[in-house]
Structures are given as structure tokens and as C-alpha cells.
Amino acid sequence: MTASTPATQDILVHAEAGVTTITFNRADKKNSITEAMYAAMADALAAARDDAAVRVVVFQGDMAIFSAGNDIADFLRQGAQGGGAAAPDAQAPVWRFLQALAEFPKPLVAAVCGPAVGIGTTLLLHCDLVYAGDNAAFSLPFVNLGLCPEAASSLLLPQLMGYHRAAEALLLGEPFLAEAALEVGLVNRVVPPSECNLLAQAQARKLAAKPLSALVETKRLMKAGQATQIRERMREEGASFARLMAGPAAREAFTAFMDKRHPDFSRC
């Protein structure tokens, strides 16, 4: 059966045949993520982690949009809590989600079509298999908002792409398309958008048919040595994010966004 989480209708959670699917269900807002959606996804990951019947989790959007990243209005309304703090609140929804994502012991699969902005891209760095529609566009516009990366992406992206390509993605914040993501290893395969979610589900079913103990141990061995680095980098990014969020560049970026104009960073 399919059920929405109690917190929000904007995240759908469906469990079947050993696969839990977490679906962004806010297409009218470009699947931008609110605090309630972070809470719902954190709860879904915790439930999947603890349920022996669940062997794989899939993240997906629809054929036109994966996620536009944080909902800016909600982000500002929550006092930028999503950016973390020098001593992050472990119970804040975004921190619960990021920690659950980074520490999830079972396979994580993602199907990405259309724009994947900010967290829409950085969450993929914690997935084990990623499939993209040929309309996918990945972007990390943190600097353009006067901010810094999150989700340990300042650590994981250079490891994946090499320093110079990661610097281009993080410092310029310009979108890169599905074929470029395939070339640098961010995605496993590029297919037509109509096939993307189906492919991710088919691969998840293959994983779910395998012995869970072997899946978990193989993932643990591949990621051995990273856990402490990721945890420490997330905290460091969170502290920097909070400091920058209070600075003039971020204030100008968000004011410009709300005013629908280009920001002027000449004094920042």
C-alpha cells in the first residue's frame, strides 16, 4: 500500500517487496523541500533502517523535476535552521535527515529527472546507485546564495569528480547535465525520463532479492574510513553555513530572490 507520512503530503512513502520508495510529491513547487519534508524523510529512513523486511530505499521525483532544493520561503521562516549551527541540533529535521542519509546501512538508489538543485544533488553523493533521465540538470548554487556546501559535499564531490571539476561545480554553481554527471561518476546510467523511475525500481528489486547481510557488509566495507570524516565535515560545513547565513552576501542573495532581481555582491 501507499501511505503519506503524518507530517506532510509532500513526501510519499511506499513499501513493497523489500523496497521503500520515498517520492517527492510537491511538483507544483518544483519539489522544493520544507522542514516538514525533511522530517518525513528522516522518519522514513529511520523506519526503513529498523525494518528487517526493508532491504533497499529509493528516492524519486517525477519525469519533470527531482527537487529544486530548499524551499527558500520555508528556509527563511525557520530561521535558516536547515543550515546548521556551530553545535547542530541533532533533532532539527534537516540534521536528522542528513545523519540518517549518511549513516544508512542498506543500499540507497535514486532516480533523477529534471533539475536537482542543492540538496537535490548533494543527497545523491550518499546513494549507492543513481539513475538519471536525459533531462536531468544538477546544480550546487551555494556560493551564488552567499553560502557554502552541505551534506559533506565539500569532501565527497572532490573525491568523486577530482578537485578541478568539483571546484567548477561548487564555485561557479552552474548546472551540469546528465551526460557530464555520467562522465564523472555521479550517475550510473542515463535513460529517457519515462524509463528512469522504472529502471531504479527494477535495480532496487534486484538488490532486494539478495542477502541483506551481504549487502550491508559490502556497503560498510566500501565506505569504511569515511564515516568519521563525513560526520566531522557535516558539522564543519554547518558551522560555516550558519556564519555565512548571517552575513551580508546571504542577506543580499535572499532579498534579491524574494524581490525577483539579480543580487549585487559588489559590497559583499
pLDDT tens for 198-229 read 999 999 999 999 999 999 999 999 999 899 99
Percentage of the chain lying above the pLDDT 90 cut: 87
Provide mean pLDDT across the span 248-254. 95
Closest CA to 126 of 38, 50, 234: 234
Query: Is residue 154 within 8 Å of 235, Cβ to Cβ?
Result: no
User: How does pLDDT run across 131-147, given as a tens digit for each residue?
Assistant: 999 999 999 999 999 99
* pLDDT of 124 strictly over 90: yes
Predicted confidence at residue 118, as pLDDT, reads 97
Pick from 188, 218, 212: nearest CA to 57: 212
202 found inside a domain = no
The CATH number of whichever domain residue 78 belongs to comes to 3.90.226.10
Which residue type does 252 have?
A: E
> Is residue 196 included in any domain, yes or no?
no
Q: How confident is the model at residue 74 (pLDDT cuts 50, 70, 90)?
A: confident
Domain-located, residue 207? no
Q: How far apart are CA 263 and CA 164, in angstroms?
A: 26
Predicted local distance difference test score (pLDDT) of residue 165: 97
pLDDT at 77: 77
Q: Residue 1: what pLDDT?
A: 36
pLDDT at 194 over 70: yes
Strand order from edge to edge, sheet including 11-16: 2-4, 11-16, 19-24, 56-60, 108-112, 129-133, 189-191
Number of domains comprising the chain: 1
Look at residue 200 and tell me if it is in a domain.
Answer: no
Q: Is residue 10 part of a domain?
A: yes
Residue 191's pLDDT band (boundaries 50, 70, 90)?
very high
Supply the range of the domain harboring residue 15.
2-190+212-259
Residue 203 resides in a domain: no
The string of DSSP codes covering 105-125 is -S-EEEEE-SEEETHHHHGGG
Averaged pLDDT for residues 81-85: 41
Is the model's pLDDT at 40 over the cut of 90? yes
Residue 88 lies in a domain: yes
Q: Is residue 38 part of a domain?
A: yes
Quick one: pLDDT at residue 89?
Answer: 67
Q: What residue ranges in the chain does DSSP mark as E strands?
A: 2-4, 11-16, 19-24, 56-60, 108-112, 115-117, 129-133, 137-139, 176-177, 189-191
What is the chain's mean pLDDT, rounded? Answer: 92
CB atoms within 10 A of CB 140: 28
The residue ranking higher by pLDDT, 82 or 27, is 27
* Length in residues, the chain: 268
